[in-house]
Amino acid sequence: MGRYGVDEAVIPYNLNGESNWWHDINDSPLWQDRIFHILTALYGLVAVIALVQLVRIQLRVPEFGWTTQKVFHFLNFLVNGVRGLVFIFRRNVQDLHPEIVRHILLDMPSLVFFTTYALLVLFWAEIYYQARAESTDGLRPIFFTINVAVYSIQVKHMFYYFSISAYRKEFEVVFFLLEN
């Protein structure tokens, strides 16, 4: 026995690479299903909490319309709900065609997540400016400008990626025909 009550021959056995736990889990459909179901449950829980908060705030003060706080909870519900659905239907999502639909479905929650937390920064900035009795008129246009810029970059990136991949496929077909 070793110093800590563990047989010293056991310690090197776990470090020699004969059994790589990551590959065992990664190659196991059962483990993958369990992990994705856990992620679905967690994202679903956050989505339900956000929806409950949104409904609770709406019932408490319905006369204010869509406030920053209500939009924040709605966006959290949307992001986490879509991510939960993507995890539960992950095999179907992986088989979606055309490929751009899959990329949009996988990328849009991240963009909406960015908008959600940019909105949170806007909310804090409005509170800060109001506490100092300063004008908040310039904050919302900055918020919208930043979001338009981020979404535009993403759309341009997708168009570029898919136009390049379309040309690559055409090139491979032509190259294959020339070889034969």
pLDDT for 105 equals 85
Average pLDDT over residues 141-164: 90
What is the pTM for the complete model shown? Answer: 0.73
* Cα 29–Cα 106–Cα 30 angle in degrees, nearest 5: 10
The answer on pLDDT for 145 being more than 90 is yes
Q: Is the dihedral of CA 165, 166, 168, 173 positive or negative?
A: positive
Q: What is the pLDDT of residue 141?
A: 95
The pLDDT score that the predictor gives to residue 26 is 83
Q: Which of 103, 111, 74, 72 is nearest to 86 (CA)?
A: 103
Q: Which of 79, 145, 156, 152 is nearest to 112 (CA)?
A: 79
pLDDT at 162 over 80: no
Residue 73: which of 90, 97, 96, 56 has the closest Cα?
56
**C-alpha–C-alpha distance, residues 81 and 104, integer Å:** 15
- Tens digits of per-residue pLDDT, 39-88? 999 999 999 999 999 999 999 988 888 988 999 999 999 999 999 999 99
The whole-number pLDDT of residue 74 equals: 96
- Other C-beta atoms within 10 Å of 52: how many? 12
What pLDDT score does 45 carry?
Answer: 98
* pLDDT higher than 70, residue 170: no
Q: What is the pLDDT of residue 18?
A: 55
pLDDT, tens digit, 9 for 90 and up, residues 104-115 = 888 889 999 999
| DSSP one-letter code for 50 | H
Q: What is the mean pLDDT of residues 24-30?
A: 86
Query: Per-residue pLDDT for 13 more than 70?
Result: no
pLDDT tops 70 at residue 140: yes
Q: CA 135 → CA 69, 121, 127, distances in Å?
A: 19, 16, 11
Mean pLDDT of the chain: 85
Q: How confident is the model at residue 102 (pLDDT cuts 50, 70, 90)?
A: confident
* 37 vs 105, residue with greater confidence: 37
Q: Is 105 helix (H, G, I), strand (E, B) or coil?
A: helix
Q: Could you count the other beta carbons within 10 Å of the beta carbon of residue 129?
A: 15
Percent of the chain with pLDDT over 70: 81
Backbone φ, ψ for residue 21 (5° rounding): -60, -30
Name residues whose C-beta falls within 8 Å of residue 79's C-beta, 6 or more positions apart in sequence: 109, 112, 113, 116
